[in-house]
Structure 1
Amino acid sequence: MASGAVTGKNGSGEPSKVSFFNSQKRTCPVCEESFKREELLTGGGRLNAKALTDELHRLFQPTEKYGNVHPLIYSIWTCPNCYYSAFREDFSKPKKDTLINLQTKVAMQMRKGVVEGIFDDINFSGYRHLEEGISAYIIGIYSYEHFPKTQAPILKQGICAIRAAWLAVHLHDENPGENYDYLARILYRKAGYFYSRAIELNDIAEQPLTTTAIINYGPGADHNFGLDGAIYLAGMLQFKYGQRSDVDLRIKRLKEAKIMIARLVGSGRASQSKPTVILNHSRDLYGRINEELGTLCGL
């Protein structure tokens, strides 16, 4: 485990007052393991919000007392025994078929193997670091494979993937030269696929995204940008991280992204359901897509 990614610890290596373990134990529905959940403390200057990126990712300013604090690593629940991982609204009561599939030996081995092949010494019983945060979201992608379409699993896989990508970028910043930027690129591409697929399935009413099964569309934990945010990210991720080696396919994907973003900029006005930040980012992205299409098509 990279020593530079010690989120939630002070310079001496001792746990800082960034998080705490809730005294109320949770029981994993998959393996029936009881465990205490680590939760983020707020206030006291722990979180100093900075800008919102074009990926709708909220950045935070590190402080002298607490260092780098990454709230997203606490926003997904993970069983320390079987590595089942899901968002709070889904964790405790998976459907019967989902539970049966999550309990298979193959599924359990997959959840553990996928992260043990990336990081050493992952520990979901102790204080979380960036490595545990990334791992929890990667496992979440595999866990949501078994959820029914009524719980919008494809979008939730996308949220897991993009959050894991953001955390991998932060881990790379703290440990340059360890190839975590490569991990981030893989996760961004996965996120792009899941977001685009989620919008496609929503449009044909196969996996509707206007559902009470989605408590927070994210993509971060601090702000819910709703369905418009998901549509925007589908276009943004395709533009920034989609393949570029096949020019004809690149043009095709950019045209698809342009159509999606046009749905957001069409009204031209901000509203409660379409906040200014989404509208402004969408206008900028629409222009950037048009510019690249013009270059690729020789216009």
Structure 2
Amino acid sequence: MASKDDKAPSITFYTKEQTQCPICNAKFKQEKVMSGGGRLIAGSLTDELRRLYEPSAKFGEVLPLVYAMTVCPKCLYAAFPQDFCVLDKESLNKIYDGMQDRFTSVKQLFSKIDYAGSRTLNEGAASYYLALLCYESVDTKYSPHIKQGLCALRGAWLFSDMGRKFPEENYSYIADLLYRKSLFYYRRAVELETSGQEMIANLKSFGPDLDKNYGFDGVLYLAALLEVKYGSRTDPEKRRELLAYHRRSLAKMFGLGRSSRNKPGPLLEHARNLYDSIVAEINEDAEDE
């Protein structure tokens, strides 16, 4: 029999208080990741503003994103923690009506998902997919489009991780689909914000990852980056038009001057690199004509 000393070191804990699902009334304790004791060793920051973490000898690989979303283990209602218990009745009723569709959709991706026990990468990736479905039914006052964009982006990250771990599966294909969905929702969120139809300022953190909030500037940067990486190339003229828009947006945000001194250093560096890439593509297209 293994002794307590042989027990694998813990990377998570469960909250003492229970959360009650506002849809099915199920009560459950949430699993949270521990951050101290050398569990999280910050690595590099990707161009998508994702923070990578180095595996530690004691705890192995730890992915905080796996535990970030609140998910009801009974009805699979998923949302950001700040939204889970506060959505209006009409939104909750619509989410309730989509319960069976959530079960069916997630079963097409995973043979087994269990939010009653400790989460794995499967539950982490599925949590963002489920939240993406749930926010389809949420009122505009809760800024669902930017939250769907964030869910799709984080989901793409975790499905990409799964694709590297299990290359024989279709997870990389799902990741690519989520990246393209993220582009759609980021683009739409910026359009709605600009027109005043859906404000996104009430978002607690624009992320996109958990370690730092890059604010609305981060949203504009990611909208441009996703357009460059995943935007359609079937209509060259339309693509040039979109790239020109993002070039102006980046130039305005991170142009030389006093205002740029207040921008986060990593974001400023990535934005300048992206700006150069956009200019290079536009110029290359002009030379080909």
Tell me the TM-score normalised to structure 1 length.
Answer: 0.89
Within 2, Cα distance between the matches of 1:205 and 1:140? 24
Find out whether 1:71 has 2:60 as its counterpart. no
User: Which structure exhibits the higher relative contact order, with contacts defined as CA atoms closer than 8 Å and separated by 6 or more residues?
Assistant: 1
Cα distance, 1:64 vs. partner?
2.3
2:126 aligns with one of 135, 145, 148: 135
C-alpha spacing 1:129/1:15, structure 2 compared with 1 (3 Å): farther
2:230 to 241, 244, 268: 241
Partner amino acid for 1:241? Answer: Y
Q: 2:161 aligned to 156, 161, 170, which one?
A: 170
Q: Is the 8 A contact 1:239 1:257 kept in 2?
A: no
CA distance in 1, matches of 2:257, 2:179: 29
Percent identity of paired positions between Structure 1 and Structure 2: 38
Q: Secondary structure at the match of 2:287?
A: coil
Cα deviations by residue, 1:33-80 (Å, 9 ceiling, x for unpaired)? 111111101211111000111100000001222221100011110001
What is the DSSP-based 3-state SS (H/G/I as helix, E as strand, rest coil) of the residue aligned with 2:16? strand
1:149 paired with 2:140, answer yes
1:117 aligns with 2:108: yes
The CA distance in 2 between the partners of 1:125 and 1:16, in whole Å, is 20
Q: Which residue of 2 aligns with 1:208?
A: 199
Mapped to 2, the partners of 1:163 and 1:246 lie a distance apart of: 28
**1:7-156 pair list within 5 angstroms:** 16-104=9-97, 107-156=98-147
Higher helix proportion (structure 1 or 2): 2
Secondary structure class of the residue paired with 1:24: coil
- Aligned match for 1:264, one of 253, 268, 281: 253
Deviation by residue 1:158-195 (Cα, 9 ceiling, x = unmatched): 11111111111111222223232111111111111111
CA contact (8 A) 1:232 1:264 kept: no
Q: How many residues align?
A: 282
Alignment RMSD, CA only?
A: 1.7
Distance 1:109 1:139 in 2: 12
Whole-Å Cα distance in 1 between the matches of residues 279 and 190 of structure 2? Answer: 21
Tell me what 1:187 maps to: 178
SS at match of 2:28: strand
Indicate if the aligned counterparts of 1:49 and 1:58 stay in contact, CA closer than 8 A.
yes
Distance 1:15 1:250, change over 3 A: farther
- For 2:3, the equivalent position in structure 1 comes to none
For 1:135, give the aligned amino acid: A
Give the drift of 1:242: 1.4
| CA distance in structure 2 between the aligned counterparts of 1:15 and 1:250, rounded to whole angstroms | 51
Instruction: Choose which of 225, 228, 244 in structure 1 pairs with 2:217.
Output: 228
